[in-house]
Amino acid sequence: MSYQIVVCGSIVPDPLQTLEPVAGPALKNEMMLPSVLDPWAWHSLFEAAHLAKNVAGSKVYLVSVAPKAKLQQVMMTVGQKAPFELIAVDGPASGFTDAAEIAPLLADAIKSIPGLDQSKLLVFGGWESASRGAGSTMQIVGELLGIVNQFQGVDKLTVGADGSFEILERIEGGKHQVSKCAGAPAVLGWATGSLPEPPNNPQIGMQNMRAIMPALQKAKPTKVATDAVKFASVALPKQQRQTKIVKDMPADEIAKEIVAWIQE
């Protein structure tokens, strides 16, 4: 038993940066902003690497739609965390692109993997995203690949001796449910996962970079059609601050005042 684990993840601006939308729509000086791998994709990659390490013969692929130059910068860091093979598509990483346009690019990239065996395929990705937070990208990718076993909001994956899965999923009300799946293929949209960030490993980094650079050079440029989506305006949220200091006020009264303030 072995798996081909494909992680879908793009890059996003470093969350410590101030983001300002401009007409287009786009982010002001977007190409100048430092980028990181999407946080949800980070968790997916850690979980994939952990699973591949424990199941002999398994391999991890990272499929990313992002500007090639920015992706190369991010891979210098990501490549030191876990062994994987990069499948790059040179395209936009903006949060203004629609999930229905990005998902087919990801699905086509997955289909292009040499020797792809769907009976061993696990597609990992973020349940959410810091840029494409529609919550539908992974679902569409799974549908395009013909994978009906999909699990979203995953926190833990346990593989049984017979190859079956036990999956801990988040559901409404702050609760979890335990789902069972007979085996691959399956799509898992990860929440936070349960693993810490792996330490940097320069040896893994050097091994990955030998394959990452050729993959980036072969990345096919693609355009994402945005004609179907129109943005009337883009602007930063307005900041409001009204401070009131009151002693010994019951919590119910505080809540009522907050609700009244929001309704105004």
pTM of the model: 0.82
Angle at 102 between CA 95 and CA 125, to 5 degrees: 85
pLDDT at residue 31, rounded to an integer: 75
CATH class name, domain 4-221: alpha beta
Picking from 193, 249, 222, 202, the residue whose alpha carbon sits closest to that of residue 112 is: 222
Contact assessment for residue 40 and residue 159, using Cβ atoms and an 8 Å cutoff? no
Domain ranges of the chain: 4-221
- Alpha-carbon distance of 194 to 198, in angstroms, equals 12
173-210, pLDDT tens digit by residue?
A: 888 899 999 988 999 999 887 788 888 888 999 998 99
Structure tokens at 74: 């991010």
Residue 85 binned pLDDT confidence (cut-offs 50, 70, 90): very high
pLDDT number for residue 59? 94
Q: Does the structure show a pLDDT above 80 at 49?
A: yes
